[in-house]
Amino acid sequence: MISETTLRVRYAETDAMGVVYYAHYLTYFEVGRVEFLRQNGLPMADVDRKLRMPVVEASVRYLRPARLDDLLRVRSWIGERKRASFLFRYEIRHAETSELIATGETRHACWHPETERMIAIPSWLEGLLTPEAPESPDEGRP
């Protein structure tokens, strides 16, 4: 399952070089991740009460700059699932030209808000975190 969402680059997200500031791609990834969960029946407000999924690693590859008012498409999918952590992968493209802007991933652990401890991925969540076969679902795409 690959989720898609679009967002428009805000003034607040550009920097003095006229392009999206590099940290905001992690925010765009989060927007993608939250939509992935919502489209799988898990609105974020619910998730937060049952389980926290802190990011333990994140990385971004910046391919082309995004600019003010660009409409971007964020695609998010599960890249890997281990016993106690899982990996989200993302790609960001211009919504109109499909040009690739950035790719990246975030690794998450599971943390129980009541016991305040790291836990294995709970069984109710496992089915949702099924890794996609290809590394990138867009391989071979123009």
Interacting residues with a second copy (CB under 8 A): 10-12, 14-19, 21-24, 26-27, 30-31, 34, 43-45, 48, 52, 54-62, 65, 67-69, 106
What's the min distance (Å) between Cβ of 20 and a second copy?
9
Q: Which is nearer to a second copy, 15 or 130 (CB)?
A: 15
What's the min distance (Å) between Cβ of 40 and a second copy?
15
Cα distance between residue 100 and residue 16, in whole Å:
22
What's the min distance (Å) between Cβ of 106 and a second copy?
8
Q: Which is nearer to a second copy, 45 or 133 (CB)?
A: 45
Residue 24 pairs with which residues in a beta bridge?
A: none
Q: Which is nearer to a second copy, 22 or 130 (CB)?
A: 22
Give Rg (Cα) of the chain.
Answer: 16
